[in-house]
């Protein structure tokens, strides 16, 4: 089983926060930094303001699955950090997926449809 392409280190998160561009909507904030690597990596941050550990982990799993299923729709060679807002606690998979794809469109990282 392949490893999930994620950002783990605090220094990598800080680099994306400082050098990347950010857009936000009601549920999520997305920071995107272009890299020269062949793979797109994702980092997910869910604050304690969102809820207890069960809720935070549930939101993290949903976002990871959204990224995995929509990886073919976005460009490669990016570092993406997604920060969940407190409103994400009351949303379901489809609302989070819509918010994620909306932010991908704002960042212009969606691949052109053929």
Per-residue pLDDT, 36: 84
Which three-class secondary structure string do you get for the chain?
Answer: CCCCCECCCHHHHHHHHHHCEEEECCCEEEEEEECCCCCCEEEEEECCCCCCHHHHHHHHHHHHHHHHHCHHHECCCEEEEEEECHHHHHCCHHHHHHHHHHHHHHHCCECCCC
All domains in the chain, ordered by first residue? 10-107 (3.30.230.10)
- Tens-digit pLDDT profile for residues 10-37: 999 999 999 999 999 999 999 999 998 8
What tens digit of pLDDT does each residue of 79-99 get?
A: 999 999 999 999 999 999 999
């Amino acid at each position: 089983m392949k490893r999930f392409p994620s950002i783990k280190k605090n220094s990598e998160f800080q680099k994306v926060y400082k050098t990347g561009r950010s857009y936000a909507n009601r549920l999520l904030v997305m920071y995107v930094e272009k890299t020269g690597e062949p793979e797109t990596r994702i980092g997910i941050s869910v604050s304690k303001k969102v809820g207890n550990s069960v809720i935070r982990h549930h939101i993290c799993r949903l976002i990871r699955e959204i990224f995995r299923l929509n990886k073919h729709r976005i460009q490669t060679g990016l570092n993406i950090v997604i920060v969940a807002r407190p409103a994400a606690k009351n949303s379901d998979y489809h609302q989070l997926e819509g918010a994620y794809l909306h932010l991908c469109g704002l960042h212009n990282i969606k691949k052109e449809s053929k």
